[in-house]
Amino acid sequence: MKKIVFVVLFMLLPVAGNTQEESQRATVSETMTVAASVTQFAGATTAALTRPHGRCSGILETAAIRVTTDGTTPSATVGEPVLVNQEIEVLGRGNIGAFKAFRQTGTSGVIYWTCYQ
């Protein structure tokens, strides 16, 4: 059933004016260093994403971190763990605005983000 719904929605997107080319356009990039304090996307990054269906993706380098998008404050033991070289994708403008990260060890992690409308 999920595959059928996905196909129907995918077919409706061009009719609504959101072509695949428009939805995949890189809008902004950001380098995020995840240190021993809670880290979020820069205000300029979230402001550049004007559509609700934006997404940001990146690959974690250097050290493991923990992330949340539900309002919970991450710590070295709270949040979803992300390992070095793991891809991270945050979907939706609301989740991008709520994204928080915290390093899991004594070494800061670095994420090179690219965000799309």
Mean pLDDT in order along the chain per 10 residues (117 residues): 38 44 77 96 92 94 97 96 97 96 96 95
pLDDT of residue 4: 38
**Structure-derived torsion over alpha carbons of residues 34, 36, 37, 40, reported in degrees to the nearest 10:** 10
pLDDT of residue 75: 96
**Who's near 58: CB < 8 A, 6+ residues apart?**
32, 87, 88, 111, 112, 113, 114
Domain with residues 25-116, CATH architecture? Sandwich (2.60)
pTM, 2 dp:
0.78
117 within 8 A of 22, measured Cβ to Cβ? yes
pLDDT of residue 21: 47
Taking the domains of the chain in order of start, what are their residue ranges? Answer: 25-116
Nearest CA among 63, 55, 66 for reference residue 27:
55
Residue 49 dihedral angles phi and psi, to the nearest 5°: -90, 95
